Amino acid sequence: MRTHNRSSRTCSRASCNLPAIKTLTYVYADSTAVLGPLATYAEPHSYDLCATHSEKLTLPNGWKAINLEPESDLMGPSEDDLMAIANAVREVGNQQITPTPAQPAQPEIGRRGHLRAIPSN
Ligand SMILES: [Zn+2]
């Protein structure tokens, strides 16, 4: 359901006439700026951005930016899905992959079978 004239869009930043490749949507309820594929139609809180400006986002304090891959657009996920994907990506990115052994390594000294406590009688 895409229109064929999306290439005519230009960056919405002042004094920038480069072709737009991304659409930035401000989600005020979540203080989130969602940067996704170029929207097929203009929305009230959406701004088309060129490649340069889409990489130099300046957001208000406390806002977070979410970058959507173009592939996500094909599945038509809901806004909640997009938020979940973005959160999952962020969590993975913050995790350090350090394998933790099931048990801490301990020296074998004094743990041989014949050194068990023997009742004295
Ligand atoms: Zn621009």
Q: What is the dihedral of CA 102, 108, 109, 115, to 10 degrees?
A: 100
Ligand 1 centre from 36 Cα, in Å? 15
Asked if residue 62 has pLDDT above 70, the reply is: yes
Is residue 24 a contact partner of residue 55, using CB atoms and an 8 Å limit? no
Ligand 1 centre from 2 Cα, in Å? 23
Q: What is the pLDDT of residues 66-120, one digit of tens each?
A: 988 765 455 555 677 777 767 777 776 666 555 555 665 656 555 555 566 666 7
> Does the pTM of the predicted model rise above 0.85?
no
Task: Kindly state the percentage of the chain with pLDDT values over 90.
Answer: 32
Ligand 1 centre from 24 Cα, in Å? 12
